[in-house]
A and B are shown apart, each in its own frame.
Chain A
Amino acid sequence: MKVVRVGLIGCGGIAKRAHLPAMAHLTDRLRLVATADINAAAAQEAAAPWGATAYTDYTAILERKDVDMVLIATPEFLHRDQVVAAAEAGKQILCEKPMAPSLAEADDMLRACQRAGVRLMIGHSRRFTRRYLEVRQAIDRGEIGEVRLGRENERRPRPPVPRQGGTASALQARSEGYWIAGHWTSDPKLSLGTALTNGIHEMDLLRWFTGAEPVAIAAEHNITVQGNPGVPDFLSFMIHFDNGAIGSAEIANCIPPSYPAFHQFELYGNAGAIRAKDQELLSITHYRDDGADFPDSSHILLHHLAAYVREQAAFIQAMQTDSAVPLAPENGRAALELALAAVESARSGKVVRLGPAGKGGRTA
């Protein structure tokens, strides 16, 4: 099989934490040949281990004939322009979630890729996580019957709150640095908040597991992380599906760093149930003078790296075998539609009704 030559657009948090480490597992099938980031040092740092060329303008990657595929790991407000340009340059495209900040932009992306005849996959990484793949397979085998109720609560650590006489401790490293002043996630001009940053994962999973289409969603959001200047970082939502099933989730991003878990997942079918609660799966606890620590629990339990390896491998396999991507981009649009409806509901205080099932939902 031909080795796929990859250009990486965006070398910030998700590229560093997930995509670059995943690429290192796939050297038999891909080679990173170019990187781009407005932060030249970040682009250079990502490029160096591969001997790739670093740029500060992503269009330089698109002009290169020796790039087969681009991996877009930038914030969503950049996706439309980058995906459309990449499609017009004939590149195959794996793009981070969320697909875009609006349905209109998502539709532009879909049309551009269709017009250019290139593959587009939106990286909903949890669909490639072992835990959730097993769940979907169990559902397919009929082991829990029809899914009727699903919940996943997601907990993410905040930076430690400075307290008089206290110390930040080594736990500080656990925070991802989202939702703090200066980061784009906390700029209301750039981010719609946790519905798109985290909640979209749960929305996508609930739709995948129920196999049904949403008819209504209601949500509440709040700003909870200290120092967050104005973007909701907390979300609680519930979805009613067209087969009567209910899905719900609560996403909290202001959890103290010593909290041990990431996900609390429950799925109840009419013939059984599946649950995967991180708290019940912990195997290591360090007890210290100032509390308990659970080293790397979220990474171990979510199999974070493996999911991104699987996601990239699946996309490359589709390219190498000239077949369709395993996760059609319309799923990214459907998840985005839910996330935007959640924002609308939380802002208006009203339930948002979605389009009839099977009709493509709401239009842009």
Chain B
Amino acid sequence: MKRLWQVGIIGADARAEMLADPLWPSRRSRIAGWAAGPDDEAAAAALAGRIGLTLTPTWEAIAADPNLDALLVLGSDHRDAVLAGLAAGKTVLWPSAAIYDRSDWNRIASLQATGGRLFAPGELRFTPAGRYTLDRAVGGELGKLHSVYIGLRAPRSSARTAAISLLREGLEFALGMAPEPVRRIHAVAQSLFGDSKPDTVVCTLRFADDLVVTIEASQCLPATIPAGGPAEAEIEVVGALEVVRAEPYKTPVHRFGDQDHAVHPWVSQPVRVMLDALGDHLDGAAQLTDGAGHQARIADLMEAIRSAAADGLGSWNRA
């Protein structure tokens, strides 16, 4: 019988709230500890209590705990916890990774060299609809790919870095089916709904094989439009033969009780699948699929998009 791996959780954001659903534990691992991230200790205590864990007082303690095999870091702003876990030689699963440019990635890569391992695959890729879409696109069922549209919409009230995180999700997804180098990028990033921080990024990426990927990531949803998950996601992959259209976060689980009606988005499922993959990795049965080259590629593209959008609508061309 395979070993059940011990996982510690750091973070208590909205995504963690969804994951605390009693259905969530993976077949390959179990949660052994929960700590607040740098944010909300009370929320972490409540979440830990819901699944019968004692709250670990500090995230540093979880990151350094020798009894834990891996860390699951929930929240995009918990970079220090990720770095501490990697420095302690742990495998770190960071679903909403905040690796936004090459310098971020270089720092992580140097820590990986000492034995830590980051698994930051992007949630969208691991949703059921996302996996279905990627499988068909990569498997050739759609014919030669002509275009990919990825629309990602987050509530205006979400964290101020949400648009950038969504852009990264979009890139993760697109690169899952686009192996060729990017030749050109057009991009614009703008604060449209709030303060001066960009809350909207629109970009097109033209790949060497002429595939055009359009990503629009925006914190544009007013409070009256519930995202139903971390964001709304609309994906259309157009091939010469067929089209796949998917809305990966739009298929929630509804639970009806005497007193209330709870909606659980699919967001817990991708993390369960990731935890299974993590367990297989720790067993040595499978390699994680987001290798260093992939992460470096995303970091470079994030930087290229930033450079294209530095002064309004602009372009980046591969030298």
Contacts and interface: CB of A to CB of B under 8 A. Distances in A.
Interface of A: 148-149, 151, 153, 161, 163, 215-220, 222, 224, 226, 234, 236, 238-240, 244-246, 248, 250, 252, 254-256, 259, 264, 266, 268, 270-273, 275, 279, 345, 349-351
Nearest to A147: B192
A224 B239 CA distance: 9
B212 interface: yes
Contacts of B315: 218, 349-351
A246 B309 CA distance: 13
B220 A218 contact: no
Contacts of B204: 218-220, 236, 238
A325 B261 CA distance: 53
A246 B147 contact: no
Contacts of A252: 146-147, 236, 238
Interface stretch (B71-79, B133-141, B182-190, B275-283): B182-190
Contacts of A268: 192-193, 218, 220-222
Nearest to B314: A351
Closest 8 CB pairs of A and B: A218-B186, A148-B192, A240-B313, A268-B220, A224-B146, A216-B313, A236-B214, A220-B212
A254 B216 contact: no
Nearest to B223: A272
Contact of A222 (B143, B146, B234, B312): B146
B138 to A, nearest CB: 19
10 contacts: A149-B192, A149-B218, A216-B312, A220-B186, A224-B240, A236-B212, A255-B243, A256-B243, A272-B222, A272-B224
Contact of B193 (A148, A215, A219, A248): A148
A252 B237 CA distance: 11
B1 interface: no
A238 B315 CA distance: 12
B202 A246 contact: yes
B210 A238 contact: no
A246 B193 CA distance: 12
Contact of B192 (A245, A254, A272, A279): A245
A149 B241 CA distance: 32
Contacts of A219: 186, 204
Contact of A238 (B146, B149, B186): B186
Query: Is the contact region of chain A dominated by helix, strand, or loop, or is it mixed?
Result: strand
Nearest to B205: A220
B65 interface: no
A163 B224 CA distance: 46
B186 to A, nearest CB: 4
A218 B317 CA distance: 13
A60 B170 CA distance: 57
Interface string B116-145: 000000000000000000000000000100
Interface in B293-317: 312-315, 317
B193 A234 contact: no
Contacts of B186: 218-220, 238, 345, 351
Interface string B267-292: 00000000000000000000000000
B23 interface: no
Nearest to A261: B245
A234 to B, nearest CB: 6
A239 B313 CA distance: 8
Contacts of A148: 192-193, 200, 220
A224 B313 contact: no
B253 interface: no
A6 B245 CA distance: 44
Given A224-B147, A246-B192, 17 more contacts: A148-B193, A148-B200, A218-B204, A224-B238, A224-B240, A236-B149, A236-B212, A236-B214, A240-B313, A250-B147, A250-B149, A252-B238, A256-B243, A268-B218, A270-B192, A273-B225, A351-B313
Nearest to A158: B240
Nearest to B242: A256
A240 B202 CA distance: 10
B206 interface: yes
Contact of B146 (A234, A245, A272): A234
A236 B185 CA distance: 12
Contacts of B245: 259, 279
Nearest to B143: A161
Given A240-B313, A244-B190, A255 B238 contact: yes
